[in-house]
Each structure stands twice: as structure tokens, then as C-alpha cells.
């Protein structure tokens, strides 16, 4: 007679397995969860081993996916736009309510943690506008969460006022959207060749140029979308604000001009028909150089208000009132921001230069 013993489970319970799968970053999920299955002995052993592995794999993914200059630029952008540099009290207090610097730092830290974790848990490196929108949703959710925590556990002085929150949305969110999305658009900088070792033909070059022009169009579309957001929300803000400062009108007018320039002149010019390889490569190089310059300009343009804001809200009031620490803090923030943005630009320019050099080599220019 067949004896029935206790049923031995060789796989983890579905609920625990689901939790483990959700917690392990997608980039390593397949291999790590498979390894944990292979070592499975009991539900408790499986869960405890997964919890021990988790901090290591998350930390490793954070290290792999974090771009330090980008993270630092985002930190200054968030802190500045949340009003961290604004005087809270005294004769130099800002006309717009600001939280104390602690409140701004807490909200900025929450948003940065959200962005870092989002990068670590990203499924794919592929570029999409949806990705940029989710980045913004992450930032807004984290800032709201930090406000809830502050309301419950800290001083009400640390909370953002509705006006400051609106100003944060106008100034920080488009900048973040542009910063994070545009850096992911590297597809136009890889010269695809038909097969290893073969020199590309004019048709290959034309196909590659079309892909580059498409990417440039998408990138410029991102700039235009961010610019239009700033123009509309900036105009609404000026209408809402009593006695708005003249610099506000200049800010909105400047964005209108830049958006108009990108729409009219930003696209990569189409490659002329029936031209030789050398002329096609020269056209391609010229457009690469033009897009590189446009890209660099846009980078600085979106961050310009932040520089002006820090200068007006931290350095100048600090100098006037003799607060050395405030002046030093503002100056250090501006200098660091310049260094970080220059590092990001240099990295990007290097990729453009590499492609220009490849084209020069193919055209036999060196």
C-alpha cells in the first residue's frame, strides 16, 4: 500500500515570491530570483535570504544607474526651486512664502531618493516620453509625501506654501524633465555601420542621418514642451501674483523667443539628394555641430533662472546684510552647479565629437 508522507514544497509560496520579485530591481531580477529558487529550502529561509540579498542588489543598481553630476545638479535645482536659498525672516524676507531651509532640504532629499530609486528600478534604458512623465510624477509624489511627514512630525514652518509649490512646479519640473530625458537620448550618436569592417555607403550614411534627424526632432520637441509649460504656467503665475517683478515678464518673454527659435530653426536640415559620400559626411558633421551648440545652449538656458535665483536670494541679500555664511553658501552652490553642468556638457560634447571624428575618418579628412 502506498504511504502518503507530508507534501514537500520545492518552490516558494506564491505570495512571498511575488513580494521578492517586486522588490528585486528588474535589471537583475531574472538571475537573482532564479538563484534564490535554486537555494530554496523553506518559506522562512527563502524570505530571509531574499531580505539579506536585497540591500546589496539595490545598492549595486543605484551605483550602476546613478550619474553623480546629474544627481548633484538635480539636488541644487530641487533645493533652490523649493525656496531653500530664500530668506525666511527679517527685512530681506522674500515676497513669496518660503519654507525654512530645513523644510526645503527635506522635500528635496525625498524627491532625490525617489529619483535615485526610480533609476535603480528602471526596466530598460530605452528612451520614452512616458519615462520623463513618470520621473515628474515621482518627484511630485515624494515632495507631497515629505509634506505629509513634516505636517505630522515636524514644524509647520517647514511646509511649502501653495504659492511656493506653484513656483516649484513652474521652475523645477520642466528643468528636471529636460535634464533627465535629454541625457537618455544617445541613440543619435552611434554611427550604425552595415557590417563590421565594411565602410558605410552614402545610403548607410543617409539612413543614419535620418535616425539622427528624428532624434534631434524628438529632443527639440522635449525642449518645446518644457518651454511651453514654463510660458503658460509662468503667465498664469504673473496674472495671479500681485505686482509681479519685471524679471518675471522677461523670463516668460525669453522662453517664448527660445520656443519660437527651436520650432522654426531647431530641426536638422534635410540631407540634399544625389550628393557624394564626402559631401554627405560634411553635411552630417555640420548638423551634428549645430545640434551640439543648440543642445549646450538649451542646457544652460533651462538652468539660468536657477543661477539668477540663487544670486538674488542668497548672495545679494547676504552681501547687503553682512551675512557671510549666507553669501558663501550661495556662492558655493553657484560654483558647484557650474562645475556639474560643465561636467554633463563635457560628457555629452565628447559623444558628439566622437561621432564627428568617425565621420571625418570615413570621409578621409584626417
Which residues contact another protein by CB under 8 A?
11, 17, 28, 30-35, 37-39, 49, 52-57, 59-61, 63-64
Shortest distance, position 146 Cβ to another protein, whole Å: 29
Which is closer to another protein, CB of 55 or CB of 197? 55
Shortest distance, position 37 Cβ to another protein, whole Å: 5
Gap between the Cα atoms of 152 and 352, Å rounded: 49
DSSP category for residue 161: P
| Angle at 53 (CA atoms; ends 47, 59), nearest 5 degrees | 135
Which is closer to another protein, CB of 39 or CB of 269? 39
Which is closer to another protein, CB of 31 or CB of 247? 31
Shortest distance, position 163 Cβ to another protein, whole Å: 45
Shortest distance, position 63 Cβ to another protein, whole Å: 8
Which is closer to another protein, CB of 65 or CB of 331? 65
In sequence order, the 6+-apart residues with CB closer than 8 A to the CB of 309 are 80, 81, 85, 171
Which is closer to another protein, CB of 4 or CB of 63? 63
Gap between the Cα atoms of 80 and 168, Å rounded: 9
Crossing angle of helices 277-310 and 324-362, in 10° steps, is 180
Q: Give burial (CB, 10 Å; 0-12/13-18/19+) of 40.
A: middle
DSSP category for residue 233: H
The Cβ-side half-sphere exposure at 171, using a 13 Å CA radius, reads 26
Is residue 174 within 8 Å of 140, Cβ to Cβ?
no
* DSSP assignment of 166-187: HHHHHHHHHHHHHHHHHHT--G
Which is closer to another protein, CB of 17 or CB of 135? 17
Shortest distance, position 228 Cβ to another protein, whole Å: 39
Is residue 174 within 8 Å of 222, Cβ to Cβ?
no
Which is closer to another protein, CB of 45 or CB of 128? 45
Which is closer to another protein, CB of 64 or CB of 269? 64
DSSP category for residue 95: S
Gap between the Cα atoms of 45 and 54, Å rounded: 14
Amino acid at each position: 500500500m502506498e504511504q502518503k508522507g507530508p507534501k514537500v514544497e520545492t518552490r516558494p509560496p506564491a505570495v512571498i515570491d511575488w513580494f521578492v520579485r517586486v522588490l528585486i530591481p528588474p535589471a537583475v531580477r531574472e538571475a537573482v530570483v532564479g538563484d534564490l529558487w535554486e537555494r530554496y529550502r523553506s518559506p522562512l529561509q527563502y524570505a530571509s535570504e531574499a531580505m539579506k540579498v536585497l540591500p546589496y542588489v539595490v545598492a549595486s543598481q543605484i551605483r550602476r544607474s546613478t550619474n553623480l553630476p546629474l544627481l548633484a545638479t538635480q539636488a541644487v535645482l530641487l533645493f533652490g526651486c523649493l525656496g531653500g536659498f530664500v530668506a525666511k525672516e527679517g527685512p530681506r524676507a522674500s515676497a513669496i512664502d518660503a519654507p525654512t531651509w530645513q523644510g526645503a532640504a527635506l522635500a528635496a532629499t525625498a524627491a532625490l531618493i525617489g529619483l535615485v530609486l526610480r533609476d535603480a528600478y528602471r526596466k530598460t534604458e530605452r528612451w520614452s516620453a512616458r519615462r520623463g512623465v513618470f520621473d515628474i510624477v515621482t518627484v511630485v509624489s515624494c515632495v507631497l509625501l515629505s509634506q505629509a511627514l513634516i505636517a505630522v512630525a515636524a514644524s509647520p514652518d517647514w511646509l511649502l506654501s501653495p504659492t511656493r509649490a506653484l513656483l516649484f512646479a513652474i521652475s523645477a519640473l520642466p528643468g528636471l524633465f529636460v535634464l533627465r530625458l535629454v541625457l537618455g537620448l544617445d541613440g543619435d550618436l552611434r554611427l550604425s555601420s552595415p557590417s563590421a569592417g565594411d565602410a558605410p555607403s552614402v545610403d548607410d550614411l543617409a539612413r543614419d542621418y535620418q535616425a539622427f534627424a528624428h532624434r534631434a526632432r524628438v529632443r527639440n520637441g522635449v525642449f518645446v514642451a518644457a518651454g511651453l509649460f514654463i510660458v503658460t504656467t509662468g503667465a498664469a503665475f504673473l496674472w495671479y501674483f500681485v505686482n509681479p517683478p519685471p524679471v518675471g515678464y522677461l523670463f516668460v518673454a525669453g522662453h517664448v523667443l527660445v520656443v519660437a527659435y527651436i520650432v522654426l530653426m531647431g530641426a536638422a536640415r534635410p540631407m540634399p539628394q544625389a550628393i557624394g559620400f564626402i559631401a554627405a559626411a560634411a553635411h552630417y558633421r555640420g548638423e551634428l555641430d549645430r545640434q551640439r551648440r543648440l543642445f549646450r545652449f538649451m542646457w544652460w538656458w533651462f538652468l539660468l533662472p536657477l543661477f539668477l535665483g540663487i544670486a538674488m536670494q542668497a548672495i545679494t541679500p547676504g552681501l547687503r546684510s553682512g551675512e557671510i555664511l549666507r553669501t558663501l553658501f550661495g556662492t558655493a552652490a553657484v560654483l558647484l552647479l557650474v562645475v556639474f553642468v560643465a561636467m554633463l556638457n563635457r560628457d555629452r560634447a565628447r559623444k558628439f565629437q566622437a561621432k564627428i571624428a568617425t565621420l571625418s575618418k570615413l570621409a578621409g579628412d584626417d
